[in-house]
Structure 1
Amino acid sequence: MQPRNSRLNSAALRGAVDLAAVKAAGEAAQKAEQARAERARQAAAGEAAGEAPAGTGYPLVVDVTEDTFEAEVVQRSTEVPVVVDFWAEWCGPCKQLSPVLERLAEEYAGRIVLAKIDVDANQLIAQQFGIQGIPAVMAVVAGQLVPLFQGAENEANVRKVLDQLILVAEQRFGIVGTGGTGGAPAEEGAPDAAPRRPEDPALAAAHDALDQGDLGGAIQAYRNVLAEQPGNTEAKVGLAQAQLLQRVEGLDLQTVRAAAAADPKDIEAQLRAADLDLVGGHVEDAFGRLVSTVGKTFGEDRDAVRLRLLELFEVIGPDDPRVTAARQALARVLF
């Protein structure tokens, strides 16, 4: 099994943003567990009665409005990962990306749902998500918002992101999309979900602390794991995430960005802006800002920025193509 937090390489910040419509991640996860139990009960009853298994009946691609957001995105996310595509009619790149997302939603046959949100018609939702440019793609899993990527991506990269999202949903939240109205049926004999291994209790406690917003507790718990298991990649990524979220607590996005723009030589301002960029899903912006800052600094300042960039690489994951590109850019400015 891959490390939990590196699986969603495009931004697996579990708990980075809680949707206003969800009181807590724990409540959403509990709903998900109840929904799974009910589906299992219904499936067992149907099997006993000799009935063929049925899908959940939800559409795989749905246009979402402010009126339907709660039901189609938040509540649905307790049953299946919901990928949210922010688009507009005037957006050229959106017209390239949206068909790819729609086609993959059908191909994945119920393992994800695609929710399409027209930002012009649903400005309040766009504001709540902090959308600053489109196309922008995010996901909601058990009520948790996970930024995926911004801008048009090719199908291969989108497929990688979706595969990693599904793994996060299955192995962290236990959410397995099992059906829908559309898409090809699963291969006969294919397993319903990836096997789940027993989890290290110390690591589970660290994850729980992070999910509950106890960032100080999560940081200490991850450090405890690493003291016993220095090579535990999952704990390293969890620690990087918890530290990132702790750093951005209480920061005002507009104030931070204004300070960074006003003084490009202010190292702390650039570090804060990069942190907020990453939490907001602007991965390339965060990396680009720090690579550029490394190129303009020397000595201890350069080392501080370089080390922060390496921490952000940990959060996203080494296999993400944006990390690969940023590493190459960093090497160019260093050498």
Structure 2
Amino acid sequence: MSEFAFDASLADFEAKVLQPSLEVPVVVDFWAPWCGPCQTLKPMLEKLAEEYAGRFLLAKVNSDENPEIAQHFGVRSIPSVKVLYQGQLVDEFNGALPEGQVRAFLDRIALPPAGGNLRQEAAELLAAGQPEAALAKLVEASQQTPDDEAVRLDAAEVLMQLGRNDEAKQLLAAEYPQQADRAAGLRARLALAEGAADTAPLEEKIAANPDDHAVRLELSRAYAAQGRFRDALEAALEVVRRDRFFEQGAGRQALLNLFEALSGEQHDDLVREFRRKLSATLN
């Protein structure tokens, strides 16, 4: 049993949940052994509780064994997640959400990490078009919290935006056990960036011969290398639309590669949009 994630019952709910919630947000996960989605969400929350290392606590309540608690919090279906802070219910969600959405939820309610303000300042600088200044903030944050994988991955992403791919590759060569999916996505995006090319000649070739699928896939890779991800996805999808069997499904594989490279909260909406389009095209 972890110090950050534990079972709670009616007998110890006040001691394990209500009292700690005066100091730190407590995420209460209502689950049951027969609930399939619970078996997906519960281990995810346990993993994230370890990763966030005390920025929130996770109390797991078996709703079958503790119907009084479930009734008190108005739980009608499971999994159901409630957040208590300073003794009050402050947020909640129902169902087994994807990890990216769960992380976004936790980032809203969790206590700021050490160095968290610097990371937020870096994000604001990046949004304002100041990547060099953002990188400097991330370096400072990493010096304060060298084990913060999210900060190091933020820095790798900024380095890629600055075209400093060799430095980004060196940073991404490390292990990221707590942020494995995001690290894999950034490595895949870095691989795409290495295929940078001038798109104009490729666009001219496609204009002359719209059925040149090999050139269109090359154009998709070139768009991705330039960070034009929507254009890259659209070009690969057009290959699927025109000939889904071209080179044993190369268009579909190009889309799957792009989905991996764009994994992460920032591009979730774009990936979802093109997953739907791919499904509609294939069906």
> If the TM-score is normalised by the length of the shorter chain, which range does it land in?
0.3 to 0.5
Name which one, 1 or 2, has greater alpha-carbon Rg.
2
Q: TM-score, normalised by structure 1?
A: 0.34
- Specify which structure has the bigger relative contact order, considering alpha-carbon pairs within 8 angstroms and separated by 6 or more residues: 1
Structure with more helix by fraction: 2
